[in-house]
């Protein structure tokens, strides 16, 4: 539900009242914990020196024993009444998943849409994903501008957790799709160890990565970790070239036996020459579909897309003998984007290649800077109530995001473009007009949250909580404040030692800048997530599975009121209306099927419709299957082989054709197959080969009046040295 609060004079705000409530809950919890016998507070088999309890023996798993994603309480996947998937470092190595884009394409229940060579957007359960977290600190991405987040190099991360559905308890604002939580690598080893990797692949793709860590003093109470890499590559597109380099450092210090501080720095730079903006025309002027080579590059020779990201972070953790922990996390990041691009609007003649008279070439030069600062502080631990032991988490966080975007644009006539059927990008760069401001906004969020896991009976637990958020935005786009209470509730019932049933209600809200005819901003769009299912795990969660059924209801969606304007101005007025309803089912099994076989398999199906019963985002697959496995051959214990396949159903999109009429673009269902093999040459040295799109499937990764072709078959060979 949504609540509005008005603060005046010296009256306390709702956030301050919630902070007091959080403090009281925390104090009470610590008091209860002080009376709890120590022996009942330890978690057997978990090494608390790692970020969430995973020991070194877990390094080669496809699963993790416990995670904080979703609730900030250290829970097993079975104890979380919501769909949670994990992509571990080992799986990323086996599948050669180098970027976040690679990871999300292989993640259960997530579909992607590729706008051009640089921009990807991701969806879950029919909704756009705009919530990301770094070590549980939430940040929000904006769809129109690309700062290269999906190209983030995964060598810096230990794993990726994905919470599907509404996740407002931990993230505040966003869509009821999913939250992507990236868990950074930390300086944990008290002995010097490392990995050196060199690889070469299709399109002259070269990559070099070093991951080193060890003690910085004799006792190992001060440790360091350095991850650095460089990649240089061409593409299946002609004239395309990208280089990227990154540097990541983390220093951890045991200030006391119970307190650890780690601070770090993350730098990544990407420079791309001749990137595409959009794609190639879908039709000729006569309505026939075009058939370009997959190597055809629609970019002009003077185009580029460059991004630079720098982040600093710190994390202070104190563990108490009674099982309680306090965490103070902080992050500051600055990302810059500079893109000079070319886009063709219109359709060429099939014979002459001349673009129709209504077409044009569009040149755009865009610069942007995004700064994000976030602080999150919470305490979590056990407490006793009515003779049973429970868990509590309570915290507050603050985030500020500043976005500024400037642009300069120019146009080309069809005569200047010439014969597009022979396009090679050799068109002169325009005389750029003066820079203009696109937007300059600051978004702030202040939040307090509390959640608890109550053990109601030996087989039954209740996870419940709430989050209060004060959201403000100031700038050229809007000046408004919205306050919201986000509830969370779920039940988990242990049917057997390995099988549980769960049901949950979660929600999330997304402020909108539409206004009604009186000038008031509409209430935030609210996503309500109803979910039930079964979860199972075996062998200390080395193998997990989830079957979930969900329903998501979106309300307060802004809809245009025809013929009405805000306060008699030229601004169109909007009203709040029912939005999208998404219903579906998801299944996932992940982990060690046997001592030699790791496997991950997921199947998902959803139907999302608006209030008129029309399908939303029809260009996205409603049904997907994703399978990957790795097998250590018993007869050849140094050899691991594996592979996988993904499949999605047919999709479509209605676009404007050459004659101005609406034409439906259809993409049939298609599979993509991958293979990999790794051979352990020595105890320390291994070689691995991966082949992607094994059968060289030709497919479109975008449906509209322009086409973007997916990558053709490609390979990579990695040489890895571990010490």
- Can you tell me the distance from the alpha carbon of 654 to that of 610, in angstroms, rounded to the nearest whole number? 16
pLDDT at residue 74 is higher than 50: yes
Q: Let me know the angle formed at the C-alpha of 458 by 457 and 462, rounded to the nearest 5 degrees.
A: 50
Give the pair of three-digit tokens for residue 251: 């220093």
355 closest CA partner among 286, 295, 419, 302: 419
Give the pair of three-digit tokens for residue 470: 């004060």
pLDDT at residue 720 is higher than 80: yes
Lowest mean pLDDT among 17-21, 50-54, 96-100, 287-291: 17-21
Q: Are 344 and 354 in contact (CB under 8 A)?
A: no
Question: Is 14-722 a domain of CATH 2.60.40.1180?
Answer: no
Q: What is the pLDDT of residue 142?
A: 66
| Tens-digit pLDDT profile for residues 232-268 | 999 999 999 999 999 999 999 999 999 999 999 999 9
Q: What is the pLDDT of residue 567?
A: 82
Q: CB under 8 Å to 435, separation ≥6 — which residues?
A: 367, 406, 407, 408
Q: Are 527 and 551 in contact (CB under 8 A)?
A: no
Residue 274 DSSP one-character state: S
Percent of the chain with pLDDT over 70: 91
How would you list the strands of the sheet with 280-281, edge to edge? 280-281, 706-709, 700-702
Longest dimension (CA), the chain: 85
How remote is the C-alpha of 247 from its chain's centroid? Answer: 21
pLDDT at residue 46 is higher than 70: no
pLDDT at residue 531 is higher than 80: yes
| Tens-digit pLDDT profile for residues 458-477 | 999 999 999 999 999 999 98
- Can you tell me the distance from the alpha carbon of 511 to that of 622, in angstroms, rounded to the nearest whole number? 27
| Residue reference for tokens 């009203």 | 575
Q: What is the pLDDT of residue 58?
A: 60
pLDDT at residue 520 is higher than 50: yes
Q: Are 495 and 521 in contact (CB under 8 A)?
A: no
Instruction: Supply the mean pLDDT for the chain.
Output: 90
Which stretch of DSSP H or E encloses residue 29?
A: helix 14-34
Q: If pLDDT is split at 50, 70 and 90, which confidence band does 214 have?
A: very high
3-state DSSP assignment of residue 415: helix
Residue 635 DSSP one-character state: T
Question: How confident is the model over 345-349, as a mean pLDDT?
Answer: 94
Question: How confident is the model over 492-501, as a mean pLDDT?
Answer: 97
Q: Let me know the angle formed at the C-alpha of 210 by 207 and 214, rounded to the nearest 5 degrees.
A: 170
- Can you tell me the distance from the alpha carbon of 720 to that of 452, in angstroms, rounded to the nearest whole number? 44
CA distances from 714 to 613, 643, 691, 710, 717 (A): 41, 14, 6, 11, 11
Lowest mean pLDDT among 1-5, 198-202, 382-386: 1-5
pLDDT at residue 2 is higher than 70: no
pLDDT at residue 677 is higher than 70: yes
Q: Are 150 and 118 in contact (CB under 8 A)?
A: no
Give the pair of three-digit tokens for residue 369: 């800077």
| Tens-digit pLDDT profile for residues 167-212 | 999 988 999 999 999 999 999 999 999 999 999 999 999 999 999 9
- Can you tell me the distance from the alpha carbon of 419 to that of 283, in angstroms, rounded to the nearest whole number? 15
How many residues are present in the chain? 723
Q: Cβ atoms within 10 A of the Cβ of 58, count?
A: 20
What residues does 408 pair with on adjacent strands? 365
Give the start-to-end residue ranges of the domains of the chain.
14-722
Q: If pLDDT is split at 50, 70 and 90, which confidence band does 155 have?
A: very high
Whether the model clears a pTM of 0.75, i.e. scores above it, the answer is: yes
Alpha carbons within 13 A on the beta-carbon side of 301? 6
pLDDT at residue 614 is higher than 60: yes
Q: What is the CA radius of gyration of the chain?
A: 26
Q: Cβ atoms within 10 A of the Cβ of 48, count?
A: 15
Percent of the chain with pLDDT over 90: 79
Q: What is the pLDDT of residue 7?
A: 33
- Can you tell me the distance from the alpha carbon of 374 to that of 134, in angstroms, rounded to the nearest whole number? 10
341 closest CA partner among 297, 284, 300, 308: 300
| Tens-digit pLDDT profile for residues 106-148 | 999 999 999 999 999 999 999 999 999 999 998 877 655 678 8
Question: How confident is the model over 407-418, as a mean pLDDT?
Answer: 94
- Looking only at the bridges linking them, the beta strands covering 131-134 and 178-184 are parallel
Secondary structure (DSSP) of 337-390:
EEEEEEEEES-B-TTT-PBPTT-EEEEEEEEEEEEEEEEEEEEEEEEEETTEEE
Q: Let me know the angle formed at the C-alpha of 571 by 439 and 278, rounded to the nearest 5 degrees.
A: 50
Question: How confident is the model over 538-562, as a mean pLDDT?
Answer: 91
* Residue 115 φ/ψ region, left for φ over 0, alpha for ψ in the -120 to 50 degree band, beta for the rest: alpha
Start-to-end C-alpha separation, the chain: 54
Q: What is the pLDDT of residue 562?
A: 76
Q: CB under 8 Å to 362, separation ≥6 — which residues?
A: 342, 343, 344, 345, 409, 410, 411, 412
pLDDT at residue 86 is higher than 70: yes
């Amino acid at each position: 539900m949504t609540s509005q609060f008005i603060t005046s004079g010296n009256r306390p705000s709702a956030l301050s009242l919630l902070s007091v409530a959080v403090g009281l809950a925390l104090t009470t919890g610590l008091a209860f914990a002080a009376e709890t016998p120590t022996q009942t507070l330890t978690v057997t088999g978990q090494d608390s020196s790692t970020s969430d309890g995973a020991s070194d023996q877990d390094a080669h798993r496809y699963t993790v024993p416990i995670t904080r994603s979703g609730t900030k309480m250290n829970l097993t996947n079975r104890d979380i009444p919501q769909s949670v998937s994990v992509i571990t470092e080992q799986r990323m190595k086996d599948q050669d998943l180098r970027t976040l884009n690679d990871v999300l394409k292989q993640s259960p229940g997530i579909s992607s849409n590729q706008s051009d060579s640089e921009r990807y957007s991701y969806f879950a359960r029919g909704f756009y994903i705009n919530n990301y977290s770094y070590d549980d600190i939430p940040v929000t991405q904006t769809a129109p501008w690309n700062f290269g987040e999906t190209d983030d190099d995964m060598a810096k991360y230990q794993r990726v957790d994905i919470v599907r559905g509404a996740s407002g308890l931990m993230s505040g604002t966003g869509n009821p799709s999913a939250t992507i939580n990236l868990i950074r690598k930390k300086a944990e080893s008290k002995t010097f160890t490392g990995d050196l990797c060199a690889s070469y692949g299709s399109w002259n793709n070269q990559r070099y990565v070093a991951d080193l860590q060890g003690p910085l003093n004799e006792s190992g109470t001060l440790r360091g970790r350095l991850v650095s890499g460089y990649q240089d590559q061409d593409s299946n597109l002609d004239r395309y070239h990208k280089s990227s380099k990154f540097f990541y450092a983390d220093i951890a210090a045991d200030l006391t036996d119970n307190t650890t501080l780690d601070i770090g720095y993350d730098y990544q730079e990407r420079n791309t020459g001749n990137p595409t903006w959009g794609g190639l025309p879908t039709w000729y002027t006569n309505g026939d579909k075009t058939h370009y080579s997959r190597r055809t590059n629609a970019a002009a020779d003077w185009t580029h897309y460059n991004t630079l990201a720098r982040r600093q972070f710190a994390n202070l953790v104190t563990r108490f003998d009674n099982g309680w922990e306090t965490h103070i996390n902080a992050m500051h990041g600055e990302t810059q984007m500079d893109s000079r691009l070319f886009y063709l609007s219109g359709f060429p003649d099939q014979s002459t290649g001349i673009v129709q008279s209504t077409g044009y070439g569009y040149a755009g030069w865009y610069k942007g800077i995004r700064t994000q600062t976030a602080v999150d502080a919470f305490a979590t631990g056990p407490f006793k109530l009515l003779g049973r032991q429970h868990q509590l988490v309570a915290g507050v966080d603050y985030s500020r995001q500043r976005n500024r975007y400037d642009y300069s644009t120019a146009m080309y006539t069809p005569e200047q473009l010439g014969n597009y059927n022979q396009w090679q990008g050799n068109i002169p760069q325009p005389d750029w007009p003066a820079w203009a401001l696109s937007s300059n906004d600051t978004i702030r969020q202040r939040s307090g949250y509390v959640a608890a896991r109550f053990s109601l009976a030996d087989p039954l637990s209740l996870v419940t909580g709430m989050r209060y958020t004060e959201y403000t935005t100031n700038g050229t786009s809007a000046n408004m404040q919205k306050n919201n209470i986000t509830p969370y509730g779920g039940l988990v019932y242990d049917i057997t030692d390995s099988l549980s049933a769960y049901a949950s209600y979660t929600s999330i809200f997304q402020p909108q800048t539409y206004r009604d005819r009186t000038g008031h901003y509409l209430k935030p769009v609210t996503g309500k997530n109803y979910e039930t299912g079964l979860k199972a795990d075996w062998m200390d969660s080395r193998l997990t599975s989830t079957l979930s059924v969900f329903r998501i209801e979106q309300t307060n969606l802004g809809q245009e009121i025809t013929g009405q304007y805000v306060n008699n101005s030229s601004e169109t007025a909007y009203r709040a209306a029912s939005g999208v309803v998404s219903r579906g089912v998801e299944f996932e099994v992940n982990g060690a099927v046997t001592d030699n076989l790791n496997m991950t398999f997921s199947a998902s199906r959803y139907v999302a419709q608006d209030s008129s019963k029309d399908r939303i985002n029809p260009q996205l697959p409603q049904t997907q299957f994703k399978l990957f496995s790795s097998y250590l051959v018993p007869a050849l214990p140094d050899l691991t082989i594996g592979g996988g396949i993904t499949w999605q159903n047919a999709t479509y999109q209605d676009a404007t054709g050459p004659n101005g009429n609406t034409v439906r673009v259809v993409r049939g269902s298609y599979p993509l197959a991958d293979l990999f093999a790794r051979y352990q040459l020595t105890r320390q040295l291994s070689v691995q080969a991966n082949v992607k799109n094994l059968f060289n499937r030709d497919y479109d990764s975008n449906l509209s009046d322009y086409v973007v072709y997916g990558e053709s078959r490609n390979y990579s060979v990695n040489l890895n040295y571990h010490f």
